[in-house]
């Protein structure tokens, strides 16, 4: 594995999440979460560079802002062929998402971009719809995206068990655990049944 490439991904994610904190009592820097997700995968024996990079980058599109300057210099792709630069005169969530995914592909390759895209919720949808879609779509993601999703859920559940997020009631914690189990069941049962067929 190319450790330097993994460090580039950590650096990129740290810069994107620089002003964010976790909702824990310590206000931990947000970057501890994506690094922790990658660490869990490493502890589980995952050595694939693209998977580990995607783990570190999995929240960059969904949870960070893309500046106008960054977005205005994005270039659209058609397949693997580079097309003309496009100046974006206005930004909405879809444009920011597209531009950040393109930036990820430019820096880390199409596979990393694809895994991150699979792990990214559409933030223009209401939270309840995003949660429903995570349950519905979990079984249909690529194996690498499933690995990242499982590690992400495990990290969050352990973190919530350690310290309830600011502003969360016991009811919300319970609901998060129930919802997470549904997502994980969809991923895990599909992965296990696929493994039995091989």
Residues in the chain: 198
152 assigned to active site: no
% of the chain with per-residue pLDDT over 90: 61
Question: Annotated catalytic, 43?
Answer: no
Q: What rounded mean pLDDT belongs to the chain?
A: 83
Q: Which residue shows structure tokens 């580079």?
A: 82
H-run or E-run covering 38: helix 32-43
Position with higher pLDDT, 152 vs 97? 152
Write down the pTM of the prediction. 0.81
Which stretch of DSSP H or E encloses residue 82? strand 81-85
Judged by average pLDDT, the poorest of 2-16, 77-91, 92-106 is 77-91
116 and 101 Cβ atoms separated by less than 8 Å: yes
CA distance 35 to 43: 12
Please pick, among 24, 48, 62, 106, the residue that the annotation labels catalytic.
62
Q: Tell me which of 173 and 95 has the higher pLDDT.
A: 173
φ, ψ at 99 (rounded to 5°):
-65, -40
pLDDT class for 80, splitting at 50, 70, 90? very low
* % of residues, the chain, pLDDT over 70: 79
Give strand pairing partners of 77.
Answer: 82
- Calculate helix-pair angle for 49-57, 93-108, nearest 10 degrees: 150
Fold classified for 3-197: Hypothetical protein af1432 (1.10.3210)
Distance of CA 1 to the CA centre of its chain: 21
Among 100, 93, 97, residue whose Cα is nearest residue 124: 93
Q: Which of 24, 48, 63, 106 is catalytic?
A: 63
Residues 44 and 1: beta-carbon distance below 8 Å: no
Among 64, 37, 33, 32, which Cα is nearest to 52's?
A: 37
């Amino acid at each position: 594995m190319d450790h330097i490439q993994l460090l580039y991904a950590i650096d990129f994610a740290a810069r994107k999440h620089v002003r964010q904190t976790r909702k824990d009592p310590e206000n931990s820097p947000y970057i501890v979460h994506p690094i922790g997700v990658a660490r869990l995968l490493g502890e589980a024996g995952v050595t694939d560079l693209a998977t580990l990079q995607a783990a570190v980058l999995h929240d960059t599109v969904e949870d960070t802002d893309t500046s106008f300057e960054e977005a205005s210099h994005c270039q659209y792709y058609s397949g693997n062929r580079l097309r003309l630069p496009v100046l974006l005169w206005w930004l909405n969530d879809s444009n920011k998402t597209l531009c950040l995914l393109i930036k990820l592909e430019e820096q880390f390759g199409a596979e990393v971009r694809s895994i991150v895209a699979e792990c990214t919720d559409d933030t223009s949808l209401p939270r309840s719809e995003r949660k429903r879609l995570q349950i519905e779509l979990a079984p249909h993601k690529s194996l690498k995206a499933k690995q990242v999703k499982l590690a992400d859920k495990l990290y969050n559940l352990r973190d919530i068990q350690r310290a309830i997020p600011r502003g969360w009631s016991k009811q919300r914690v319970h609901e998060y655990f129930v919802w997470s189990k549904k997502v994980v069941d969809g991923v895990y049962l599909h992965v296990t049944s696929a493994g039995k067929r091989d």
